Amino acid sequence: MVLEEISTSLIMWFSCALIPCLLIDAVAVLPAPQNLSVQSTNMKHVLTWSPVVVPEEIIHYSVEYQGEYESLYMSHIWIPSSWCSPTAGPECDITDDITATVPYNLRVRAVLGSQTSAWSTLKQPFNQNSTILTPPGMEVTQDGFHLVIKLEDLGPQFEYFVAYWRKESGAEEHVKMVMNGGVPVHLETMEPGSAYCVKAQTFVKAIGRHSAFSQAECVKVQDAQTWHFLTHHLVECGASPTCVTWGETLPLALALFAFVGFTLILVVVPLSVWKMGRLLRHACCPVVVLPDTLKITSSPQKLISCRREEVEVCAMAGLSSKELLGVFI
């Protein structure tokens, strides 16, 4: 009886001692990401999940995938995603990882320093043939009598079917395949005065699916009389030297303004430089005018020679006796 009580006490003591440790370990375990899903539109695939929140910490994530080949022939190995091992946000673009139209398993786990959570796996394998295909954007224009379309470029996997028809009852609908988007494509030569409508859809050969058609867009070409007037007017203007169209007037005006501006530059710039030079020369070396008394009106050499002749004449002239007597008196 005593031994039984002692054993019971020891069991209770060990239980009380271990339970807090287990609770602490449970709290320390990093939670796994939840709510995995794939959003796929026009062959762009993005895996998303609910973020793991740890106060004052930045959580990173690792993403791995497993295709049919890895599952059947490579012992179920998992391959890290090309762009998301690791990644900081709760999403991963897996478009480059999905290379075949087969089921893919996807999984993600949280990483915090040396801690990692358990893996969370997508509930249902993802297959790219489930992608949502949307109608392409398009721009319908006319170039003279030519019907032209430019389609949105959705990538190299996409081809386009373009349907066009004359807008009238009983008109036949024509379909043309366009291999690439982003470039103008000529559809048909239109008849004057008629309206034409166009719509388009995408087709992805890899999955054998196409999108719905886009909303039809219509354009109307000018009628024959208006077109004849315009072409006749242009021909006359081309033959007559006195006829100037609006398209010719603008270039002529621009050329005239450019010529006038260039001429002004050629005239104004040299004059400005010359005037500035004169101002600087006057400021640094001002002109000083001598008084009239200091001006030399004759040659200095001539003045010296004249003074010399006067001295010699005075030295050679003699005085008479009467002059000498007059001097003393």
In the predicted model, what is the mean pLDDT of residues 24-41? 82
Please determine whether the domains at 30-130 and 138-224 fall in the same fold group of CATH.
yes
Q: Where are the domains of the chain?
A: 30-130, 138-224
- pLDDT at 163 > cutoff 60: yes
Please write the tens of the pLDDT for every residue from 198-216: 999 999 999 999 999 999 9
Going along 11-59, which residue ranges are E strands?
A: 34-41, 44-50
CATH 2.60.40.10 fits 138-224, yes or no: yes
* Token pair belonging to 277: 């030079």
CATH architecture of 30-130: Sandwich (2.60)
- pLDDT at 26 > cutoff 80: no
Is the entire prediction scored with pTM above 0.85? no
If we measure between CA atoms, which residue out of 47, 42, 45, 46 comes closest to residue 155?
42
Phi, psi dihedrals of residue 164, rounded to the nearest 5°: -145, 150
Q: How far apart are CA 304 and CA 298, in angstroms?
A: 11
Q: How far apart are CA 219 and CA 165, in angstroms?
A: 11
- The DSSP symbol for 126 reads B
